[in-house]
Amino acid sequence: MNTDHAYIGLGSNVNNPHAQLTLAMANIASDEGIEVLACSHFYVTKPVGPVSQDNFMNAVIKIKTRYEPQALLTHLQTIEKQHGRHEKRIKWGPRPLDLDILLYEGQRVQEANLVIPHPELENRAFVLCPLADINEEMILPSGIKLKQKLKEIPMDGIIEVVEK
């Protein structure tokens, strides 16, 4: 059976975000069609968008998966729902869990419900910082080196969580 590598962004800002991300990673790793290969540090970050809300906690994992992109998306959405995320929520509002497919084995997907690479990937320090923990030498879809992009993007309000 073929397997591909993908990078998944994780975020949460309600119901104990650290626990939400930790449990989500365990949920993802427990699926026999997915192997978690690497995990970034956790980062506390300012929310994006017009809604007043608590800070987020973000991380990125690298996985090996047997799922095609749409099937992986469906699986991740099931995990989000298990964590209390609902379809009818405020765009860019608070959420217990957000799982985004950032990259999938160099593939490009342009569908109504899924765009890979993630369209905001290179604009979001809260994704790029944890991605660099896993692969700082990565070449981004634009052709720019990740470590170069990190020098160019504002890092306001991003704090690495140091585990004790």
Among 54, 66, 89, 95, the active-site one is 95
The answer to whether 133 is a known catalytic residue is no
- For 32, 38, 159, the CA distances from 164, given in Å and listed in that order, are 31, 20, 15
The answer to whether 31 is a known catalytic residue is no
The answer to whether 66 is a known catalytic residue is no
Q: How many CB atoms lie within 10 A of CB 54?
A: 13
Among 31, 85, 89, 108, the active-site one is 85
The answer to whether 95 is a known catalytic residue is yes
Q: Mention every residue, 6+ apart, whose C-beta is less than 8 A from residue 74.
A: none
Among 31, 89, 98, 156, the active-site one is 98
- Which residue from 139, 140, 133, 137 is spatially nearest to 158, judged by alpha carbons? 133
Among 4, 100, 108, 133, the active-site one is 100
**Residues annotated as part of the active site:** 85, 95, 98, 100
